[in-house]
A and B are shown apart, each in its own frame.
Chain A
């Protein structure tokens, strides 16, 4: 497997109401070699951008308007108008308590990054999204990346999704 990531070939969409936070993320991505990074300060603009131009990774803040981060995830994952329900989403937030992480996970985020973040942690999330994409689960109550990150080799009962994969 090639051992390098060229972010110059990845199209990003940043959604963040804070100009300084958005600028910081943009600067870091540019320094990592990204070239196609669109910025939106609210979710209405972000939805317009998603509909008009293809995007590979959404990096969104939780504290957005008029939709909050969770509602924005819902739009991407479940709305009939969503341009791509499989779009990878990295949610960044200063709300790092476990209840928020679980809420975000159960709405279908791909990766979660607690703020304040460091460059290494941010990059690791991007590597995970790009190099190690997870299968999606389409169930009655959930649509999103498989929440089970570790395969339990010893499990032999029914309904284990890794066994039921088609």
Chain B
């Protein structure tokens, strides 16, 4: 027979130490406080762009190796899963929403994949190339694209990934 759930009151020590009437941030951030904290995000933006560029460069090299030696595909897919998830999780914080969307598309494509043939590798390669293009235009609003182009691009990748599952 299952026992009755026990309820444990939460410790109050942290609350006592951290809540203050005079020092710290408002429970609801003011616009000034928010703007100040966001400078930390802006500070890391350039670093993010250069690190992702390095990652994409490494992926292109591995991709080239996999095309010559299909035995490497398993490790490559694992690498793609990790890298695309990391880019998906960070790009939007810096305001690069289109990069997050493209990395999400790549991550979804490789998430449960254990093999990739020639056609699937082309789909992967197109994602990497597109991420490169978007990254090079990252500082421009909407990746330097008109909203319609952005929509068409995303729709094209949706069709592409659905066709070559």
Q: Do A and B come from one complex?
A: yes
Interface size on B, residues (CB 8 A): 49
CB atoms of A4 and B85 under 8 A apart: no
A108-151, CB under 8 A of B: which get 1 and which 0? Answer: 00000001111110010001011101111111101001100000
How many Å lie between the Cα of A133 and that of B43 in the bound state?
32
A-B residue pairs, 8 tightest by C-beta: A116-B92, A94-B89, A115-B89, A6-B24, A133-B10, A139-B5, A27-B40, A4-B24
Per a CB cutoff under 8 Å, which of B18, B89, B92 touches A5?
B18
Knowing A1-B19, A3-B26, the reply to whether A32 touches B10 (Cβ < 8 A) is no
A-B pairs with CB below 8 Å: how many? Answer: 166
CB atoms of B5 and A164 under 8 A apart: yes
B84-102 contacts to A, CB under 8 A, are 85-86, 88-94, 100
How many Å lie between the Cα of A118 and that of B35 in the bound state?
12
Per a CB cutoff under 8 Å, which of B6, B15, B100 touches A116?
B100
- Say yes or no for A102: interface residue by CB 8 A criterion: no
Give chain A residues whose Cβ lies under 8 Å from the Cβ of B32. Answer: none
How many Å lie between the Cα of A131 and that of B106 in the bound state?
39
How many Å lie between the Cα of A116 and that of B78 in the bound state?
21
B76 CB to closest chain A CB (Å) equals 18
Residue in chain A with minimal CB distance to B99: A116
B62 CB to closest chain A CB (Å) equals 18
CB atoms of B29 and A134 under 8 A apart: no
Can you name 9 extra interface pairs (CB under 8 A) apart from A4-B24, A27-B44, A115-B92? A4-B25, A5-B25, A21-B90, A56-B18, A118-B93, A120-B29, A129-B14, A130-B14, A139-B6
